[in-house]
């Protein structure tokens, strides 16, 4: 194991998570503080720096042994420029040269990565994919995010918007997505759109036990859909099945693009367990080509909410290895 440590920071719209990790991905300290986005750019940047510094101080390590900082930021952002460009949930952080600011303020080399890419790198480096070289990760939360690792390298693309897995079109002309496209996997397989789809069908007159929640003024959530589907509600089962089907369609596409060894599912929806995994595996097997058995293993992530800062630290370790600061 290489000596020294790297800091990982996961920048979110509500909280900033940070931790100090060694070269094997072992967490030496971790913490979470408020982002305070309502206080503007300078406060958010100050909080990012404070989180990194606190991760170092809490671990009680010699500062000279801290070799790098990695920050996972919502996109759009630029790894090459070290720039946070225009994150939708952090409107005060437009065109912020965060890499240089962090380096100037802390004296520690810093790398900036898309937060979904960082989380995928975390699973690849220290989680469910640490024994493979090629991995695709889908994060199934409010939206659908993800990351792609090909031959042990993150896929970013020329415009640095690669691996926007939630916006791969799986049903042309289908449901409108928040990105403006129609038929994205996010429009079917994210927690938010899953619930909205059920609401729309109920408003159109379809029968469901979920109508009682709506009549009581309750906003449907993904966990309500799962609960009702498990209880045999036909509408909930229909919506859930479609979510699993279109995610399997997306996975089949990635199977033929990057040919991954493993597809890792993360995010809130994986709380459904085998109720999610089994139909995705079944649909993927049914739709797969018959020329060759080169299907990836489909499994759940293991790092949970730590994936962001773990992966950001892992990106710092990779930047140190390659010199790509």
pTM score: 0.95
Residue whose token pair is 């909080």: 47
How far apart CA 36 and CA 40 sit, in angstroms, is: 8
* 32 has pLDDT over 80: yes
In this prediction, residue 245 has a pLDDT band, given cuts at 50, 70 and 90, of very high
Average model confidence (pLDDT) across the chain: 97
In percent, the amount of the chain with pLDDT more than 90 equals: 98
Locate CATH 3.30.420.40 in the chain.
Answer: 5-124+305-322, 132-301
Query: Could you report the per-residue pLDDT of 248-275, keeping only the tens digit for each?
Result: 999 999 999 999 999 999 999 999 999 9
* 1 has pLDDT over 80: no
Query: Could you report the per-residue pLDDT of 75-94, keeping only the tens digit for each?
Result: 899 999 999 999 988 999 99
Mean pLDDT for the stretch of residues 125-149: 96
Query: Could you report the per-residue pLDDT of 291-303, keeping only the tens digit for each?
Result: 999 999 999 999 9
Q: How far is CA 166 from CA 4, 88, 139, in A?
A: 36, 16, 9
In this prediction, residue 2 has a pLDDT band, given cuts at 50, 70 and 90, of confident
Mean pLDDT for the stretch of residues 149-177: 96
Q: What integer pLDDT is reported at residue 88 of this predicted model?
A: 86
How far apart CA 240 and CA 230 sit, in angstroms, is: 10
* CATH 3.30.420.40 describes domain 5-124+305-322: yes
**What class is the 132-301 domain?**
alpha beta
């Amino acid at each position: 194991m290489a000596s020294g440590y790297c800091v990982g920071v996961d920048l979110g719209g509500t909280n900033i998570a940070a931790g100090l990790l060694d070269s094997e991905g072992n967490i030496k300290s971790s913490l979470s503080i408020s982002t305070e986005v309502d206080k503007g750019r300078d406060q958010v940047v100050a909080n990012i720096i404070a989180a990194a510094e606190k991760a170092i101080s809490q671990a009680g390590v010699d500062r000279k042994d801290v070799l790098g900082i990695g920050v996972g930021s919502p996109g759009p952002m630029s790894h090459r420029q070290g720039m946070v460009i225009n994150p939708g949930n952090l409107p005060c952080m437009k065109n912020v040269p965060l890499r240089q600011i962090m380096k100037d303020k802390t004296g520690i080399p810093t790398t900036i990565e898309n937060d979904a890419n960082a989380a995928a790198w975390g699973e690849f480096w220290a989680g469910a994919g640490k024994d493979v070289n090629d991995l695709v990760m889908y994060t199934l939360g409010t939206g659908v995010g993800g990351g792609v690792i090909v031959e042990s390298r993150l896929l970013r693309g020329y415009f640095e918007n690669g691996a926007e897995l939630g916006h791969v079109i799986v049903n042309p002309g289908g449901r409108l997505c928040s990105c403006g496209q129609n038929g994205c996997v996010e429009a079917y397989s994210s927690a938010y759109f899953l619930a909205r789809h059920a609401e729309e069908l109920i408003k159109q007159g379809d029968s469901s036990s979920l109508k009682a929640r709506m009549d009581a003024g309750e906003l449907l959530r993904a966990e309500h859909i799962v609960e009702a589907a498990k209880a045999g509600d036909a509408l909930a089962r229909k919506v859930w099945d479609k979510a699993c089907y279109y995610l399997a369609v997306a996975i089949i596409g990635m199977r033929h693009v990057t040919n991954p060894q493993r597809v890792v599912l993360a995010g809130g929806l994986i709380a459904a367990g085998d109720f999610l995994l089994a139909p995705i595996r079944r649909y993927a097997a049914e739709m797969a080509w018959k020329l060759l058995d080169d299907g990836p293993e489909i499994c759940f992530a293991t790092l949970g909410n730590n994936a962001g800062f773990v992966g950001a630290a892992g990106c710092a370790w990779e930047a140190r290895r390659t010199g790509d600061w």
